[in-house]
Structure 1
Amino acid sequence: MKKNKHWLWGILLLLTFSLLLAACSEDEGTTDEPAKTEEPTDGTSTEGAEEAVPQVLVFGRGGDSVSLDPAIVTDGESFKVTENIYETLLNFGEQDTTINPGLAKEWEVSEDGLTYTFHLQEGVKFHDGTDFNAEAVVKNIERWKGGAEEQYYYFHSMFKAEGEDVIASVEAADEYTVVFTLSRPQAPFLKNIAMSPFAIASPTAFEAAGDKFGDNPVGTGPFRFVEWKRNDSITVEKNEEYWQEGLPKLDTIIFRAIPDNSARLNALVTGEIDLADGINPSDAATIEGNAELQLIERPSMNIGYLGLTNTRPPFDNKLVRQAVNYAVDKQALVDAFFQGRAEVAVNPMPSTISGYNEEITGYEYNPEKAKELLAEAGYDGSEIELWAMPVPRPYMPDGQKVAEAIQKNLADVGIPSKIVTFEWATYLEKAKNGEADAFLLGWTGDNGDADNFIYTLLDKDTIGSNNYSYYSNDEVHKLLIAAQSEIDEEKRNELYKQAQEIIFEDAPWVPLAHSTPLLAGKKGVANYLPHPTGSESLINVSME
């Protein structure tokens, strides 16, 4: 019995020892289970903590960009992307064209209006690591000034008049101070320099890339370029080194090209995209009736027009141009295709722009008057080409349908026409080169100034750039140059009103409509503020 007792005690001791080993093993963790994470010492709890979901916005638009080099483009689809990759010295207000700091934090203007001194933000870098400083600004200006006019035509159209450079020189006074000296006063200079085409690019990148820079853009903006799939999508991602703390809020933006309006709206409804522009006014009620969507109105600052190439028969005859103005039923176009979200255009700029001439009443719809003018002009009834835009634009949601309606108007007065179109970049290039007879196009103002409409679109200096109609009138030119240099706002406005009277008589094109462009988005798209210029930074947008 004594021997059995010792044996039992031994078994008990062995079991106790095994339990102690097991307990120690649990405290130290095993290879089968992860060790417990210690609670944070700041009083917060990790219970329910989840990894942040990437903020991705898919923006559906009507067409692809032409280039991602803002200095060489004029189209809104290009600026829609470049506005998020690059930055300008000055910014516009969130939904207006007031002047605010940008890459320049402060500025001074001399009393004679000839010297502009900009003090730059410090510590900013381009996406490739190049320092942003005064020398970078100087190199950008020199690039635009020294480049071929046909390549940098936006710069030349805004800062060159009568063969003279408005910007006489630009110098780096020190690392973060740059001084512009003008050859003559330019009243809208600050607004001009804030425009999207004059964003500052990395000198290192554009010097290395040459003509290919637009394929691999490098700016200082809130988003960095990632990928471009032609006629499909452009992807940009958050700039982790962005100089404004806490911005941007999105991680990725994908700009998808979906030319068909119905297909784009369907993509929004099915969740393929988050934001869509170029919404047909006829679809507004459908969007407003969908609790998962929001209808967004862009502040209006545009003109949609039928361009008539003034150097091509039959539109080299003013009487024929006037006849076309009488032939087009503009009110019917607005009623049919804008659903009340536009007003009939009279002058080549909207009435909200300072200097608008309200005394001009416009050409009424009068087919009989059109026929009389055609007979007086000796028009022989030759067929013309009528170009229809292949993509929806803010100033014209459906160019094809508008072209068809105008085709019927022209036929009614004896002008036969054939509707043709091209891929968007080709359309713009051929129209710019004066190859169209009549063409649909339009303009969204860049800075809210009359100069940006009348001079940019209809001055002889801008033929081959934004003056697609090849209209030239020496008296108009004198008035517009005088208006550019006039600092007194009242005197400037009077000069613009005189110019509009002459343009009305010459009828270089048919003003059609000033639209209120529509966009739509998911309810979860927050802080999206559409800008009247048609291009806005998505820096504050987030997905809820």
Structure 2
Amino acid sequence: MKRLGIVVLLCLSIVLSGFTVYSANAEPPVKPVAGGTLQLPLDGDVNSLDPALFTTAGERAIIPALFDTLMIYDQTTGALDYGLARGIQVSKDGKVFRITLRKGVLFHHGRALTAEDVKFSFDRAANPATGSTAVSLLSAVEGAEVLAGGNAANGLSGVRVVDPYTIQINLSQPSMFFFTILAEPALSIVPKDLVTKDPAGFGRIPRGTGPFKLGEFGPQRIRLLKNDQYWQSGLPYLASITWTRYNTAKAIYDAFTTYETDLINLDPQYLDLLSKRGSWNKTMQTWPELTTFYFGFNMQKPPFDRPEVRRAVLLTVNAAAYLGLHGGAGEVANGVLPPGIGGHNPQRQRPVRNLKEAANLISKAGYPGGRGMPPIKISAGSMSGLQKQLLELVKADLETLGFKVQIEQIDPDKYDQYVASGQTNMFSYGWTADYPDPHNFMFNLFHSSQIGATNLTGYKNAQVDKLIDQAREERDPLKRLTLYQNIEDQIAKEVPMIPTFHPAAVRAFQSWVKGNSIHPVIPLFYAQMWLDKR
């Protein structure tokens, strides 16, 4: 076997440049108290706790308490660290990852974790027949294309068991963000024996290696119990965690203010109200979501086939007003990459709103005063209260330029396909990082290979494609982030979309909740949380 050149995992925090861990408790450290039940509201439906199959926010929130990944995020620094892996060697060409597993890690049913479980978990996640949200995460692994074509007999050819505690992963091309992929909840390691025995039922009776194990799974309540055999010594502190279903945002808010729940993600409409109540304004946390909301243009269809018209709209929209509808939680977008993602440039300036210049650009495009402008549709997949208000604001902004605007709602299940088919002129959309790396934004939204899939504007630029491919493989972290900033600068000149704002999440918690540092990727560090009601 070829000897692997070892590349030390230098500066993993640089890969996640821009990340900050926000600590909830500024007082001097106190020895954690063991025991107690953390009471949380259930956010959305929970149909399956199988990490390969989660689709809702509620499912994603619970899965990290039950399962572990090969890489994890450090609670204190926010940087990547080893999880179920205790070491990784990377070949000099960046295409071979040899991963050594921790020994003595037990699944909840008592069996020891081995490399066979890792291969099984990855093969299963990459198999389209599974229906996993993780398929795209493993697209760089050798054999992924064969598996996608329906040949699943041997799983991923690029994932090989070397011995019971060593797994080797071969990539078809270098991917410097692959470390972050290994920390994704969708790639949590599951027990081969139990999933093989009952693949359909595993999501209702999940057994992982995580700090908590399943106690109860009902329609109104999910309860997890402490895993006394957890591989991280001394953890977890909590005896149990209970999620209770509430049907509305108001019900969740009321449950918190009457002390029925210990911690909530605050709906924007209650942000101002809660901040004025009692001492809760001292126990609120705000952090950037890895999300960009934007309006995209169909660049193949008049009038947005003309760059002057696209730039005119950019100079007309009032992004600050749009953010205001979100309760002001977040910041106006100065580009596509949100805060918290490497390559985000806080110094980039968003063009100042200028209706006079916008009108001049419309005239230059051949539509003086809007005359001759074809009617346009602004499409959306949702008409919630806030979304409807947002669309009405955009409609009013465009009408000042002489646009004749129609707002249309499309069935959310058919929305992506509708937009990709080119039937609309302009569309409302948001992109949240699948994994915390600028490649996830730039490749999916702007690479020409993704037209008709995630590149919904039809943007195509051979030079940008080349730069995106180059950035994917760049080994120097700082050079890599500079490449992404250059890519964003080039795209901004062509205005295929108008980023409007990056939302922020707001969390409120009771004063006795400790250890609830927050991270843009991790919902809660469950193992390190504890309650102090002394």
**Same-fold status (TM-score > 0.5):** yes
Say yes or no: does 1:112 pair with 2:106.
no
Say yes or no: does 1:521 pair with 2:515.
no
Distance 1:406 1:159, change over 3 A: same
Q: Indicate which of 159, 182, 202 corresponds to 2:139.
A: 159
Distance 1:242 1:315, change over 3 A: farther
Q: Indicate which of 359, 362, 380 corresponds to 2:374.
A: 380
Say yes or no: does 1:122 pair with 2:122.
no
Q: Indicate which of 144, 148, 159 corresponds to 2:125.
A: 144
Name the aligned partner's letter for residue 225 of structure 2: E
Distance 1:128 1:300, change over 3 A: same
SS class of match (1:191): helix
Per the alignment, residue 75 of structure 2 pairs with: 94
Residue 233 of structure 1, CA deviation = 4.9
Per the alignment, residue 197 of structure 1 pairs with: 186
Q: Indicate which of 314, 333, 338 corresponds to 1:325.
A: 314
Which whole-Å deviations, capped at 9, do the CAs of 1:80-136 have from their partners, x for residues lacking one?
Answer: 121212110011121654121211122222333222222212222223444311111
Structure 1: which 5+ residue stretches go unaligned? 1-51, 392-397
Residue 470 of structure 1, CA deviation = 6.2
Residue 305 of structure 1, CA deviation = 0.7
1:392-471 aligned within 5 A: 399=387, 401-413=389-401, 414-418=403-407, 420=409, 427=412, 429-434=413-418, 438-443=427-432, 446-447=435-436, 449-461=437-449
SS class of match (1:57): strand
Per the alignment, residue 493 of structure 1 pairs with: 481
Residue 172 of structure 1, CA deviation = 1.8
Residue 483 of structure 1, CA deviation = 0.7
Distance 1:298 1:103, change over 3 A: farther
Name the aligned partner's letter for residue 93 of structure 1: D
1:466-485 aligned within 5 A: 473-485=461-473
Distance 1:121 1:162 in 2: 25
Contact kept in structure 2, 1:106 and 1:119, CA below 8 Å: yes
Structure 2: which 5+ residue stretches go unaligned? 1-32, 147-155
1:349-388 aligned within 5 A: 349-350=337-338, 353-356=341-344, 361-367=349-355, 373=362, 376=366, 379-388=373-382
Distance 1:421 1:271 in 2: 40
SS class of match (1:539): helix
Residue 496 of structure 1, CA deviation = 1.3
Distance 2:397 2:65 in 1: 42
1:329-344 aligned within 5 A: 329-335=318-324, 337-339=326-328, 341-344=329-332
How large is the Cα RMSD of the aligned pairs? Answer: 3.9
Residue 499 of structure 1, CA deviation = 1.9
Per the alignment, residue 71 of structure 1 pairs with: 52
SS class of match (1:111): coil
Q: Indicate which of 207, 216, 238 corresponds to 1:218.
A: 207
Q: Indicate which of 140, 148, 160 corresponds to 1:171.
A: 160
Instruction: Name which one, 1 or 2, has greater alpha-carbon Rg.
Output: 1
Distance 1:285 1:251 in 2: 33
Contact kept in structure 1, 2:73 and 2:80, CA below 8 Å: yes
Distance 1:459 1:74 in 2: 25
Residue 354 of structure 1, CA deviation = 3.5
Which whole-Å deviations, capped at 9, do the CAs of 1:2-27 have from their partners, x for residues lacking one?
Answer: xxxxxxxxxxxxxxxxxxxxxxxxxx
Q: Indicate which of 252, 257, 272 corresponds to 2:260.
A: 272
Contact kept in structure 2, 1:124 and 1:220, CA below 8 Å: yes
Q: Indicate which of 460, 482, 503 corresponds to 2:491.
A: 503
SS class of match (1:116): strand
Distance 1:98 1:380, change over 3 A: same
Residue 142 of structure 1, CA deviation = 1.6
Contact kept in structure 1, 2:287 and 2:506, CA below 8 Å: no
Which whole-Å deviations, capped at 9, do the CAs of 1:276-308 have from their partners, x for residues lacking one?
Answer: 103427625634642367533243252331343
**Taking every aligned residue pair, what percent have the same amino acid on both sides?**
25
Which whole-Å deviations, capped at 9, do the CAs of 1:460-491 have from their partners, x for residues lacking one?
Answer: 55567765666555443322121111102343
Contact kept in structure 1, 2:86 and 2:102, CA below 8 Å: yes
Distance 1:261 1:132 in 2: 40
Say yes or no: does 1:297 pair with 2:291.
no
Distance 2:358 2:247 in 1: 35
Say yes or no: does 1:132 pair with 2:132.
no
Residue 409 of structure 1, CA deviation = 3.2
Contact kept in structure 2, 1:302 and 1:445, CA below 8 Å: no
Per the alignment, residue 33 of structure 1 pairs with: none
Per the alignment, residue 181 of structure 1 pairs with: 170
Name the aligned partner's letter for residue 381 of structure 1: P
Normalised TM-score (structure 1): 0.75
Most deviating of 128-137 and 280-289: 280-289
Normalised TM-score (structure 2): 0.76
Distance 1:293 1:213, change over 3 A: farther
Per the alignment, residue 18 of structure 1 pairs with: none
Which whole-Å deviations, capped at 9, do the CAs of 1:19-46 have from their partners, x for residues lacking one?
Answer: xxxxxxxxxxxxxxxxxxxxxxxxxxxx
